[in-house]
Amino acid sequence: MVAAIEVYFDGAAQARLRRLWDAFEQAGIPSLREHTHRLHRPHLSFAVARRFDPQQVADAVSGLLPPEGVEVEFSSVGQFPGRVLWLGPVPHADLLARHDAVHRRLAEAGIEVDAVYRPGAWVPHCTVSQQVPWADLARAVGLCLDALPITASLRSAAVADHSRGLYRPIG
């Protein structure tokens, strides 16, 4: 999985999430800030695939975020296999409906996505670290809990394929 539809937060929420990444780095725990190419922004991934045609995806899902944004509140910490640590927003009806609409439009355009990001399987999350050492897990969770709650507004989106250096904003 390399390409994603990434949805970004308002400036204040981005700053808080970046401070959490900084706290990880200061504690010697890898964060998404320093992961791979160091170009990551705090985000929710609405869909992921091995490859996307950025223009085709942007055309298919354009206009799904209202100008005033979609409010979310991060209130939990979770972990995926492989030492991935994340913050979870409350999965409210508006968030899930917008995610569903993205996938409906992608399907109508014939765009395939990874099954774990489809409605009914998707776990909304903002990754903090993809490689928390086991010995640091309790400290990492504590740093996350100290940062919560975080209220954010989903303000913008892009098709990002970091392995190919592609970034296409979605209007």
pLDDT at residue number 137: 96
Distance of CA 99 to the CA centre of its chain: 12
- For the cut 90, the answer to whether the pLDDT of residue 120 exceeds it is yes
What torsion do the CA atoms of 12, 15, 17, 22 make, to the nearest 10 degrees?
-160
Q: Report whether 89 contacts 123 (CB < 8 A).
A: no
Domains of the chain: 3-170 (3.90.1140.10)
Long-range contacts of 107-110 (CB under 8 A, 24+ apart): 108/60, 109/56, 109/57, 109/59, 109/60
Q: What is the CA radius of gyration of the chain?
A: 15
**Residues of the chain above pLDDT 90, percent:** 81
pTM for this predicted structure: 0.92
pLDDT at residue number 78: 98
> Which tens digit of pLDDT belongs to each residue from 10-54?
999 999 999 999 999 999 999 987 655 556 789 999 999 999 999
The chain-wide mean pLDDT, for the chain, equals 92
Q: What distance separates the 2 farthest-apart alpha carbons in the chain? A: 46
**Residues of the chain above pLDDT 70, percent:** 96
- For the cut 60, the answer to whether the pLDDT of residue 1 exceeds it is no
User: How far apart are the two ends of the chain, measured CA to CA in Å?
Assistant: 23
pLDDT at residue number 148: 98
